Structure formats: structure tokens, C-alpha cells
Homo-oligomer: A and B are copies of this chain.
């Protein structure tokens, strides 16, 4: 599991690899919180190498989305695995995140 943050002019990209489960979700939350606390409120979460996301991971994303929106920003996702997308749909969260197929398009949306 690795988490990296890259800063761009209008957004930060957080990229994580591996699983987002109860073990790793707190580390992701910390990273997201650090971005929001640094005053950035547009975040791209690059999921191209995330192969699993449990309900704990989902709550990290919804919490982050709420914090971003409170500051008029937005969390968007990139390259979310189809199986993970289906798990969002199942709990009525399919529309809560804009999902891009391409990192550049996500960064370019801000």
C-alpha cells in the first residue's frame, strides 16, 4: 500500500495502491484531511491501482467529499474499478462522485 499526493495549480491528486480496508482507510483519511487542511479543496483520487474498497473506504470518500464541498470544492475519482463502482451503486452512492477514465481529464476538469 502506497499513498502519494501531487499538487497541481487547481487541485491535488491523491493516488493510492492496493486495498482500502479497515487497516488502510485511516491512512487515506489522514492524507485527505491533510490536503483539505492545507487549504486545497479540489481533490482527484486516482484509483487506477486500487483493487478493493470496503465500506470503511467508502466512508473516507464520503467524508472527504463533504469536507471539500463545504469549502466549495469537490472530490472526483479516476479509473475506479467497475466492481467498486457497482458497490457504490448498491448503496445509492453511484452519483455522489464524478468518475473520470483519465487522470488528465480529471485534473483538467478543475
Interface residues of A (CB under 8 A from B): 6, 8-11, 13, 103-105, 107-110
Q: List 14 A-B contacts (CB under 8 A).
A: A6-B105, A8-B107, A8-B108, A8-B109, A9-B109, A10-B10, A10-B108, A11-B108, A13-B108, A103-B104, A104-B104, A107-B107, A107-B108, A108-B108
In the complex, what distance in Å separates the CA atom of A108 from the CA atom of B43?
12
Please name all residues of chain B whose beta carbon is closer than 8 Å to the beta carbon of A10 when the two chains form the complex.
10, 108, 110
* Residue of A10, A105, A107 contacting most chain B CB atoms (<10 Å): A107
* Residue of A6, A103, A104, A109 contacting most chain B CB atoms (<10 Å): A104
Residue of B at shortest CB range from A110? B9
